[in-house]
Amino acid sequence: METLDFIREKFREYYLKNAIKINAPSSMEKREFGFVPFKKEKVMVRHRSFESLGQLVNFIKSFVPSDVYYSSAYYKNPGEEKMVSKEWLGADLVFDIDCDHIQTPCKKTHDTWICPNCGKTFVEKPTQCPTCHTEKFEEETWICEKCLDAAKNETLKLISILEEDFGISSKNINVVFSGHRGYHIHLEDETLRSFGVDERKEISDYITGLGLNIRTYQPKKRHKD
Ligand SMILES: [Zn+2]
Ligand SMILES: [Zn+2]
């Protein structure tokens, strides 16, 4: 038996035994699903839609995917292949918190950039090799517990902003491990679904403090006469 077939068989056993643990996302019938097969060419099977959790679970058991994806967008016809025929109805608000973007001090101990030309190594991503002036580098990066803790901390900060400043109920905040380097926060609140690009940008500007004039909040210095 080939390795790939063996792993697929193990996944099949797992799905058969644990199907009960599979949860459906809210309004599942309006979402597009995608499945990655256990094949050498990992081409995702897309544009699938399901009316019920039972249908989805049966499909997973027979298809035996290595990965399953669902759209954060809701469509009138999620099973259609062309985007225009799907008819967009709205989308969850999703935040992606990734350790790669957090400059933790431990990165210096576990990340290395190597010049493929002269073999010189760097602890921070260089723009050019000072020895041979190459601009392309081989990257060896890693994620440690401290990196993940930093991402967890940012996730908790974001949740408190969403709850306290935006009044979003904790039952509509769904946090998941992204599978590798961080966390996704999904807001499945129905009132947020219809938000367009502008409204989503306003929320992101508010959270990142874009356009905030910090001087407004600083105590004014008094001039001595
Ligand atoms: Zn070099
Ligand atoms: Zn680290």
Would 1-90 and 92-105+143-225 be classified into the same CATH topology?
A: yes
Q: DSSP of 159-197, one letter per residue?
A: HHHHHHTT---GGGEEEEE-SSSEEEEEE--HHHHT--H
Separation of CA 112 and ligand 2 centre (Å): 12
Residue 224: what pLDDT? 64
Residues around the ion ligand 1 (C-beta < 5 A): 115, 117-118, 120, 129, 131-132, 134
Looking at residue 220, what DSSP letter applies?
P
Selecting from 3.90.920.10, 3.40.50.300, 3.30.70.660, 3.30.200.20, what CATH number does the domain 1-90 have? Answer: 3.90.920.10
Q: Which ligand is nearest to the CA of 143?
A: 2
Shortest-distance ligand to the CA of residue 126: 1
- Closest to 192 in 3D by CA, of 212, 167, 209, 157: 167
Supply the pLDDT for residue 36. 96
What ligand has the least distance to the C-alpha of 144?
2
**Per-residue pLDDT reduced to its tens digit, 134-148:** 999 999 988 999 999
Residue 104 CA to ligand 2 center (angstroms) comes to 6
CATH superfamily entry for domain 92-105+143-225: DNA primase, PRIM domain (3.90.920.10)
Closest residue by Cα to residue 121 from 108, 104, 106: 108
User: Distance from the CA of 135 to the center of ligand 2, in angstroms?
Assistant: 25
Where in the chain are the domains?
Answer: 1-90, 92-105+143-225, 106-140
The pLDDT score that the predictor gives to residue 79 is: 96
Check pLDDT > 90 for residue 35.
Answer: yes
Residue 164 confidence (pLDDT) above 80: yes
In this structure, which ligand is nearest to the CA of 118? 1
Instruction: Give me the pLDDT at residue 150, please.
Output: 95
Instruction: Tell me whether strands 173-177 and 182-187 are parallel, antiparallel or unpaired.
Output: antiparallel
